[in-house]
Structure 1
Amino acid sequence: MAFSVPSCAKPYTLDIPDKDMSEWKQLLELAKIGPDTWEGRQDDGRFGVSRQWLIDTKDYWLNKYDWRAQEKDINSFPNYKTNIEDIDVHYIALFSDKEDAIPIIFMHGWPGSFVEFLPMLKLICDKYPAKDLPYHIIVPSLPGYTLSSGGPVDRDWTLADSARVLDSLMKKLGFSKYLAQGGDVGSFLATTMAHSFDSCVGLHVTLISADPPEGVALTQTEKDALGRSAKWQVTGTAYAQEHAWRPSTIGLVLSSSPLALLAWIGEKFLEWSDTTPSLDHILTNISLYWFTQGFPRSIYPYRVLFSTPPEQKPPFIDKPMGFSFFPYELIPGIKAAIEKKGNLVFYGSHDKGGHFAALELPKEFFGDVEEFVKVAWKV
């Protein structure tokens, strides 16, 4: 019997109320651009976003950007919601008609969202009709991020909690086993799911922390990538310390002003990309965070990622693992180092691409995933 959309997959349509749109516009119009400074005049990113970029982007967001058009684009894909452990989990899904289709869950990170994967989904839809699609493609909003609700307010919420919910999502959809793909926070979730659940039978990631062994010959691209990463770890992680140790303060601050949120998240898209995404994409992502008030709910992973003692290293991953190297990733993985972390069955290397690989290079990114699936999936 061909796989059909499960009854638990309740269709969802994104429709931000006009009242919320009006309030956003009023707040953005009244938001004051900070004073002219020497630091704010530097447009090379070393001090963050420039004052001129913020002026220009504020104007574009107010007067040229079309949220309703972006909303329509999002709704052109099959969106669903389901409730798991009192979390309203949003996800986009391309369900195949093939009985032997392979389930894959794709998980984003911060400050991204499910919209990172829309270009990939368009490529998949163009390449495969539903009757021939070899995969069930599941793209959730992580618990706490944008269109998925957050955890309870009377206790902490952790990556382990999110991993459990997302594993439950795949099981609820009828998949007794699946592959996990992730970048940024999604890579840590994929790793946790592979360690914790028999149902997750393999993983593909684009970010993993691993120092290359001594004596390994590196290409110039790899040397340059590691140099950029070393510099970023010195000069570019202050935001993460704030997320980890003062989440309440930064959460309340950025929830008070769309302009503040624009500067905080916009900086990351400019700095962390090899090819900067379109302004429309950046603003769609930030608009989702704003309209859902998702930012304070989304930064819980940093408390774990920046407080775990270095000696508490994760165990070796014995399940099939794939990795894709993109040189402008914040923590680029070198093959010899990744092999020490787990059962590496696929390694793809690229000469370009950054932190938002699925968005920047959707064809190359998904091509790697397909190659990984060929060697990782066992019937």
Structure 2
Amino acid sequence: MTSLLEPFEVPSLSNEQLKILRERLESVIWPHELDESEKVGWTYGAPTWAVKRVVDHWLHKFDWEKERMQINQFKHYKMNVDGLKVHLIHEPSPNPKAKPLVLIHGWPGSFCEFRKIIAPLRDGDGGKQIEAFHVVVVSLPGFGFSDAPTRKGFGIAQTAKTINQVMINLGYHQYIAQGGDWGSLIGRWLGVNHSKNCKAYHTNMPIPIPPLPLPTNILTRPLSVVRMLASGLTGFNYFYPEKPKILMGTGFANATWDSDAGYRAIQATKPYTLGYGLTDSPVGLMAWILEKFHVWTHHEGDSESVVLPPTISYDEFLTNVTVYWMTNTIASSTRIYYEYHNLWEGKNNLNKVPVPTAAAAFQSEIIKVPEDWIAPSCDLQQYTSYKVGGHFAAMEQSQLLVDDIQRFGALLTRKHKL
């Protein structure tokens, strides 16, 4: 194992990078906006008043050195897997009963998302019988400090294969996968196609298969089938007080169905063209990511007049953005959309996950469906719906997510002897 690992330290920004970044932040050419843009809010995308606040913080308050020193408190490595150097954090637990757990991020996130949950998951709680884990965090190929694939066709299947090999190389031949966003789809792929090694799956963005009137569903969950069919006649609100939020079919990139689908349409079809602007302009990059961190997170009360929810600080947000900027990976990170779309990898979502599965449904997640829409898609052992949190659960509601994962770990010990 040790021969495969190369110790790594998250680096400082070079003098040249700092010079370019400061020059770009100080000489922004701002786009034209409608009058009274503050009243328009976020309807048209990230508004200038919000972007200017973050630029000001980036210029005058954000301290990359401080952030990277905190990040480097964890053990970082690079591992060569099929010609790609993959960046990972590996934090073994001192608990001899700890279970191997790989945390998988998505877009526009990074390994930084998990900063607040690595230590509590690793350590558990010494005197109490709370689950501990050998924690592994992998930067997806093409993201952050991992190499970017140089040939087309590297989608979630190849990414899952790479992560599975990372875990095997670390000596973890059986492990739990956890993820949201692309991490949810990759974790799902691991559970379906690498179940010899991936023995359980926890997700904070569960992918549903509605309880369609198929023979298996009619026999095993007849009430769920009736409720779904009846909702088609009465409207979702009658049977489902919280209207399901789901991306299906052409809705993956159809702005008529989903006003937030524009980014998916571009990234799934022409990621290169988008990449020039986002690679060259740190403000363009930050604004592109900021919109998602605003729209996909949970806000109590009015969200139109704020930049980020109180659960995510400017420093946390800018740390994530700076990783994209300094590694020049925004373009390579968006290619996962193109590959997923063009390789038709979504068809894997029709396969039932055979390994024990847990789903944590946070209030403002971009996909949120009833429990009986998730059960047909997996061996659902644990489901919890939360009235807080959103897409970036590890940042927004770190303790709730830790508790949810630990509770699932205890269930696996109790019921499945894992």
Determine if the TM-score, normalized by the shorter chain, exceeds 0.5.
yes
Check whether the contact 2:123–2:132 (CA below 8 A) recurs between aligned residues: no
| 1:1-379 pair list within 5 angstroms | 6-16=2-12, 17-38=14-35, 40-42=37-39, 44-124=41-121, 127-128=124-125, 134-152=132-150, 154-197=151-194, 198-210=196-208, 212-213=210-211, 215=227, 223-224=241-242, 226=244, 234-275=258-299, 276=309, 277-307=312-342, 308=344, 313-376=349-412, 378-379=417-418
Check whether the contact 1:110–1:185 (CA below 8 A) recurs between aligned residues: yes
Distance 1:223 1:238, change over 3 A: farther
What secondary structure is seen at the aligned counterpart in 2 of 1:162? Answer: helix
Counterpart AA for 1:12: F
Q: How many Å separate the matches in 1 of 2:393 and 2:152?
A: 34
What secondary structure is seen at the aligned counterpart in 1 of 2:384? Answer: strand
What secondary structure is seen at the aligned counterpart in 1 of 2:86? Answer: strand
What secondary structure is seen at the aligned counterpart in 2 of 1:120? Answer: helix
Q: How many Å separate the matches in 2 of 1:272 and 1:244?
A: 19
Q: How many residues align?
A: 372
Give the Å deviation of 1:94: 1.3
Give the Å deviation of 1:287: 0.7
Check whether the contact 1:325–1:350 (CA below 8 A) recurs between aligned residues: yes
Counterpart AA for 2:83: D
Q: Please, which runs of 5 or more residues in structure 2 have no aligned partner?
A: 212-225, 300-308
Counterpart AA for 1:378: K
What secondary structure is seen at the aligned counterpart in 2 of 1:373? Answer: helix
Give the Å deviation of 1:74: 0.7
Counterpart AA for 2:378: G
What secondary structure is seen at the aligned counterpart in 1 of 2:227? Answer: coil
Give the Å deviation of 1:12: 1.2
Q: TM-score, normalised by structure 1?
A: 0.90
Q: How many Å separate the matches in 1 of 2:133 and 2:371?
A: 27
Q: What are the Cα deviations for residues 198-221 of structure 1, in whole angstroms up to 9, with x where unaligned?
A: 111110112133265451699999
Q: How many Å separate the matches in 2 of 1:322 and 1:67?
A: 35
Check whether the contact 1:144–1:297 (CA below 8 A) recurs between aligned residues: yes
Q: Please, which runs of 5 or more residues in structure 1 have no aligned partner?
A: none
Counterpart AA for 1:8: L
Counterpart AA for 1:149: D
Check whether the contact 2:365–2:390 (CA below 8 A) recurs between aligned residues: yes
Distance 1:125 1:370, change over 3 A: closer
How large is the RMSD of aligned CA atoms in angstroms? 2.7
Distance 1:310 1:115, change over 3 A: closer
Q: How many Å separate the matches in 2 of 1:221 and 1:111?
A: 34
What secondary structure is seen at the aligned counterpart in 2 of 1:299? Answer: helix
- Answer with 1 or 2: which has the greater Rg: 2
Counterpart AA for 1:303: Y
Q: How many Å separate the matches in 1 of 2:169 and 2:246?
A: 42
Check whether the contact 1:241–1:306 (CA below 8 A) recurs between aligned residues: no
More moved, 369-378 vs 46-55: 369-378
Map of 2:221 onto structure 1: none
Counterpart AA for 1:191: R
Check whether the contact 1:88–1:149 (CA below 8 A) recurs between aligned residues: yes
Q: How many Å separate the matches in 1 of 2:362 and 2:116?
A: 18
Q: What are the Cα deviations for residues 123-180 of structure 1, in whole angstroms up to 9, with x where unaligned?
A: 3467547xx973101111111111111112x433211111111000000000111110
Q: How many Å separate the matches in 2 of 1:59 and 1:85?
A: 42
Give the Å deviation of 1:259: 0.8
More moved, 167-176 vs 41-50: 41-50
Distance 1:9 1:100, change over 3 A: farther
Q: How many Å separate the matches in 2 of 1:325 and 1:219?
A: 18
Q: How many Å separate the matches in 1 of 2:400 and 2:51?
A: 32
Distance 1:227 1:240, change over 3 A: closer
Counterpart AA for 2:282: P
Give the Å deviation of 1:226: 2.6
Q: How many Å separate the matches in 2 of 1:199 and 1:27?
A: 46
Q: How many Å separate the matches in 2 of 1:270 and 1:128?
A: 33
